[in-house]
Amino acid sequence: MSFKNKKSTLSFQPEHLIGWAVIVILSVLPLVFWVKLNPLNEISGFTPIMLAVGKVTGLVGTVLYALSLVLSTRLKLLESSFGGLNRVYIVHHIVGGLSLVFLTFHPLFLALRYVTFNIHEAALVLVPNGLYPVRALFDSNHLTHEAVLQQWATFFGIIAFWGMVILLLITLFIKIPYKMWLFTHKFLGVAFLISGLHIFFIQSDTSAMGALKIYMLTMIGIGLIAYSYKTLLSTIFVRHYSYIIASTKVVGGNSVQINMYATKQLMPFKAGQFVFARFHSHVKTINKEWHPFTISSSPQDNTLELTIKALGDYTNNLVQLAPGDLVDVEGAYGRFGFTSTYDRPQIWIGAGIGITPFLSMLKDLPSSGMTIDLYYCVKTVYEIIDWDKMNQHAGARSPGVRIIPFVSSMQHRHIDIDYIRATSGELSDKEVYICGPPEMMAELKQGFRQHGVPAVRIHTEEFGMR
């Protein structure tokens, strides 16, 4: 089907641009300081230009790296600035990728300034040299103190550069086991600390201009604080709730539903949110790392329920959890919910395990006054979870709620905008919530926009750890 004659309406929520505005301003500030020290009209010729680009990319890349560490902290303030933790992690990946690009350009352009006359000097930019005698590094009266100090500062820069490049590549692009990924993630702050030593000791524009040096060291400090808060001190500063598993059961063929009760205080949350959970089990294959899971219970329940699909080794083993096992819970996170849109008819689309936030939202509906079409998309009927409960909550709480199953094996196709429009009617007045595979969400988002639904009224849950 073609949408060439359809008008696409694009819009956004201005408050969600606050975070991006802060990132842009903080990243551009070192460039402003640097231009004050090095007027652009005075830079000409291949070597000076390569040197200038190398310096600027190093400054901007370092700031972006610091910001990527801040974005990984899961602070609630970040959610309001970007529109949910799922989008914070998307921004975290983008900023991390940009920092990788800029930090790669930094030594590359510094080396390129030599290539027209001395290849050996160009190579030495990326290779440690001139580090001896080591005693001169600590003796300010030694004849070669300054030279050795600068070589060690350069050495710190080289180590930090290669460390950050390798770690960012692993974080952003290389698929490795989740446990190994978490382990390597812990070294991001170490590489950043080494880069801070490089900036502090190196004789460059940062040492020539006090304001620039203060700014860069401040950003490094912020990055290290963020890293320490998230990686080293999270058990002290991040609120965790303690739960005990009451029961587990297999649902939908390959999903496990875990019901748990609080040992002390219930965790407050809103329908549609997710948590990070860490299970303490006798089963050795269930590691004690934090993993994100969407809540499927109601905020009014006295217990917390997680419905988890077996998608890999870790989630496959969760069926072995037993009553009495302890669970640490952190959260709740996310802004995927209907609470601010009572006055508009809604379309909810949950595909596979993407139904879990809607299970929670159904249980939290007001007794009347809402019009909702919930499309539950599965490959086969055997994958359906809590069908009777869903209909019970839908019928009892709000007569305007319809639950529409879509079984792709029976329909011989995936759900699309044509099917939804034929079932729900005019779309332009609807509020839309989608949770499922990324490809499906992207296709449906495009379809809704092309049928007149503003982007600001299309909500998706796109959270992923990586």
The model's pLDDT over 52-108, given as tens digits with 9 standing for 90+, comes to: 998 899 899 999 999 999 998 988 888 888 888 888 888 988 998 898 888 888 888
Tokens of 140: 């300010």
**Mean pLDDT across the stretch 125-138?**
63
pLDDT recorded at residue 2: 31
CA nearest neighbour of 171 among 186, 157, 159: 186
Q: What is the reported pLDDT for 172?
A: 64
The mean pLDDT of 109-124, rounded to a whole number, is 70
Tens digits of residue pLDDT in 268-326: 999 999 999 999 998 888 888 889 999 999 999 999 999 999 887 788 889 999 999 99
Q: Return the higher-pLDDT residue of 200 and 405.
A: 405
Counts for the chain of helices (H) and strands (E), in that order: 18, 11
Q: What percent of the chain clears pLDDT 70, i.e. is strictly above it?
A: 85
Top pLDDT among 253 and 13 is at 253
The tens digit of pLDDT for each residue in 388-400 reads 888 888 877 667 8
Task: Name the percent of the chain lying above pLDDT 90.
Answer: 42
What pLDDT, on the 0 to 100 scale, is given for residue 1? 32
Q: What are the angstrom distances between the C-alpha of 220 and each of 70, 91, 154?
A: 11, 19, 17
Which of the two residues, 136 and 182, has the higher pLDDT score? 182
- Nearest alpha carbon to residue 189 among 160, 218, 155: 160
**Confidence at residue 448, expressed as pLDDT on a 0 to 100 scale:** 95
Identify which of 95, 443, 461 has the alpha carbon closest to the alpha carbon of residue 273.
461
Is residue 266 classed exposed, middle or buried when 0-12, 13-18 and 19+ CB atoms within 10 A define those classes? middle
Note the pLDDT of residue 286.
87
> Which residues neighbour 453 within 8 Å (Cβ) at sequence distance 6 or greater?
9, 427, 428, 430, 432
pLDDT top residue among 441 and 339:
441
Q: How far is residue 369's CA from residue 83's CA, in Å, rounded to a whole number?
A: 26
pLDDT of residue 419: 96
Distance CA 278, CA 287 (A): 8
- Taking the C-alpha atoms of residue 142 and residue 25, their distance in angstroms, rounded to an integer, is 42
